[in-house]
Amino acid sequence: MEQDAVPCDEALIWPTIKALKELGGSGTIGEINEKIVELEGYSEVLQAELMPNGTQTKLAYRSAWARTNLKKGGYADNPSRGLWVLLEKGQKTLDGDEEKIINNIKRANKEDNKNKNKKFAPERKGQKEILDAQPQEDDWRDGLLRVLRDMAPDAFERLAQRLLREGGFIDVNVTGKSGDGGIDGVGILRMGLVSFPIVFQCKRYQGSITPEQVRGFRGAMIGRADKGLFITTGSFTAEARREATRAAPFIDLIDGDTLCDLLKERGLGVVERVQVDAAWFAKI
C-alpha cells in the first residue's frame, strides 16, 4: 500500500537497515534510497515532495538523517564518500528490533549532546526527532544547487558543455532549449580508439524527473544515437531510474548530487578548504 506522507527520519531507520541488508551489506546513497522506495512502495508523488528550500526532496533529506542516526548508534558507517556499510551491530538486527534501535540511538545522541545546546533544523519541528543537527553531508551541495538553478540559461549551457568536454566529449553541440532552463544536444564521446555519438539532455530542474520524461527523451533520441545522458539539478524517481535501463537505447542518469560531485572532482567552481582540527592535537 502506498503511503501518502513522507515518513519522518525516525521511521526511515529500519527501512534503511533493511535496504542495506538487501543490497548485501553496503550500498551507495542512490542505491539505498532506491531500495527503500522499492521495499516500502512509496509513490512517485511522495518521492517528488520537496523541502522548503527546494534543493532536495524530503525523502532524500530524511533518509540522510536516518543514515546519520545509524552511524551515531554504531549500526552503520560511511568509509568513503557516498558509500554506506552495515556494521556488525547492524547486521545482527532482526525484525522487531526497531524500537530498541531507536532507543539506542537516542541514548547515543544524549551522550553526544552532553553539555551542548540542542539545535533543530526548522523543517523538523513537529516531527518525531532524535537528532540535534542537520546532517553535514549535503550542506555544500544545497548551496551549489541553488547557484546552478539561479544561473542564466546561456551560462548554464556553457557550464554543461564544459563539464561534458571535461568528461571526454568532443564536438559538443546544443541543439535545443526547453522552457525549464534545460538544454538538449549531442556530443561525441571518445574512448581510446573508438568514438560514438551520445544525445544529452540537461534540465535545470527543482523536482524529480518522472519515467514519462525519461521515455520522452528516449523517443526523441531514437535514430540519433545508441546512448543517452540525462543530467538534472533535481532528482530521479525510482521508477524513472528503472525506465532508463528498461529498453534500448539505454540512458545514463546524473542527478543533482552526482552533478555536484562531478563539478567538485573537476574543480569547476568548487574548491575545498583545509581546516586544522586543533582539538584533535590537544587530545593526542
Per-residue pLDDT of 126-150, as tens digits, reads 444 444 444 555 578 888 999 999 8
**Nearest CA among 116, 6, 122 for reference residue 66:** 6
Looking at the DSSP assignment, which residues form a beta bridge with residue 191? Answer: 194
CB 206, CB 256: distance < 8 Å: no
Q: How distant, in Å, are the alpha carbons of 31, 94, 239 from that of 37?
A: 10, 20, 9
pLDDT confidence of residue 205: 84
Please identify every stretch of the chain with a pLDDT value under 50, giving residue numbers as ranges: 1, 115, 118-134
* CA 268 – CA 144 distance, rounded (Å): 11
pLDDT confidence of residue 1: 47
What CATH code is assigned to 10-134?
Answer: 1.10.10
The correct answer on CATH 3.55.40.20 for the domain covering 145-265 is: no
The full 3-state SS of 183-252, as one line of letters, equals EEEEEEEEECCEEEEEEEEEECCCCEECHHHHHHHHHHHCCCCCEEEEEECCEECHHHHHHHCCCCCEEE
* CA 244 – CA 235 distance, rounded (Å): 13
Contacts of 75 (CB under 8 A, 6+ apart): 17, 86, 87, 89, 90, 93, 101
pLDDT confidence of residue 130: 44
pLDDT confidence of residue 210: 92
pLDDT confidence of residue 120: 42
Q: How distant, in Å, are the alpha carbons of 8, 36, 46, 159 from that of 60?
A: 11, 11, 11, 26
pLDDT confidence of residue 129: 43
User: Would you kindly state where each structural domain of the chain is located, as residue ranges?
Assistant: 10-134, 145-265
Do 10-134 and 145-265 show the same overall fold? Answer: no
- Predicted TM-score (pTM) of this structure: 0.69
pLDDT tens-digit map of 143-196: 899 999 988 888 888 898 999 999 999 999 888 777 665 678 899 998 888 999
| Residue 48 three-state SS | helix
Contacts of 256 (CB under 8 A, 6+ apart): 55, 56, 141, 145, 148, 232, 233, 234, 235
* CA 281 – CA 279 distance, rounded (Å): 5
